[in-house]
Copies of this chain bind each other. A is one copy, B any other.
């Protein structure tokens, strides 16, 4: 096995079944801008999963999804409460601020908002001299590889609604979250919990590119296509997304299977690490493994394998992040472990 990248879950192309489907549907003419048959069917399948009428729109990437959705939810003077580790808070180069909105970042060690953290933000934003909080930003799974349990999601959403805050969920890795027993929830549970808008991640779960925005509180959907266009998010050949998401949610449940596969590979990797006596920060909940290595070991390994150093720890140790995906071969994991074994 040659060098493998554990940097992220988007280092490969698309799952072959999606490419095949794109090739199969390639020739037929379809209306542009999401008015095509594929988008229609995919949207219907997604609505069925949520078990209620919803609006579905497709965009090319996650930052774009977050930007378009939050700009649609908020009026100019309103802001969104997010964990400091939230993707919008730190890793979108100011995409939300670019639409004029403040992100009210609150510390959340595990990447998850709680009613108490929301209260803290509300307390500091009580008058017209501050931004008016009007939404909360949740990620499921979070950027730190954790998930909200069903009870946690219900609690945080109920608290948000009680304070007139919309609930927006970034589902870049929703497939991994739904496959995780720690989360223990379905699409319908997410809707029942009170999430108002979310996007279902495609890119990190095997799509060539594409995310599905789902508007559960349909009053928020007014003018949405205008806003997509205005943000450069309304693609002419949106069929590209329709074909993939229709296939994702075909009878064989491909989208679910890929999320489960990513988690399973992470567990395989984590198990191997533990067998070698490597300390994990915590057992993997989704497809990310956080392992603690001596600095020199980690550095030697990084010459052969791709992964990110997450944090420098005391005692010349490093916390490294290893990400598995639907595409991670067993052989890559085994070879990595073997390589590590030699260096320990």
Which residues in B have their C-beta under 8 angstroms from that of A263?
A: none
On whether the beta carbons of B130 and A93 are closer than 8 Å, the reply is yes
Assess whether A31 is interfacial by the CB under 8 Å rule: yes
CA separation between A327 and B237, bound complex, in Å?
Answer: 14
Assess whether A63 is interfacial by the CB under 8 Å rule: yes
Question: Could you say which of B28, B101, B124 contacts A90, with CB atoms under 8 Å apart?
Answer: B124
Question: Could you say which of B5, B65, B75, B240 contacts A208, with CB atoms under 8 Å apart?
Answer: B240
On whether the beta carbons of A11 and B26 are closer than 8 Å, the reply is no
Question: How many chain A residues touch B (Cβ–Cβ < 8 Å)?
Answer: 80
Assess whether A60 is interfacial by the CB under 8 Å rule: yes
Copies of this polypeptide in the complex: 4
Which residues in B have their C-beta under 8 angstroms from that of A203?
A: 235-237
CA separation between A204 and B10, bound complex, in Å?
Answer: 27
Which residues in B have their C-beta under 8 angstroms from that of A27?
A: 12-13, 327
Assess whether A108 is interfacial by the CB under 8 Å rule: no
CA separation between A16 and B184, bound complex, in Å?
Answer: 42
Q: Which stretch (A147-155, A223-231, A268-276) binds chain B?
A: A223-231
Interface, chain A (partner B; CB < 8 A): 4-5, 7-8, 10-14, 16, 19, 22-23, 25-32, 59-68, 71-72, 75-79, 90-95, 97-103, 105, 124, 128-132, 203-204, 208-209, 223, 225-237, 239-240, 306, 327
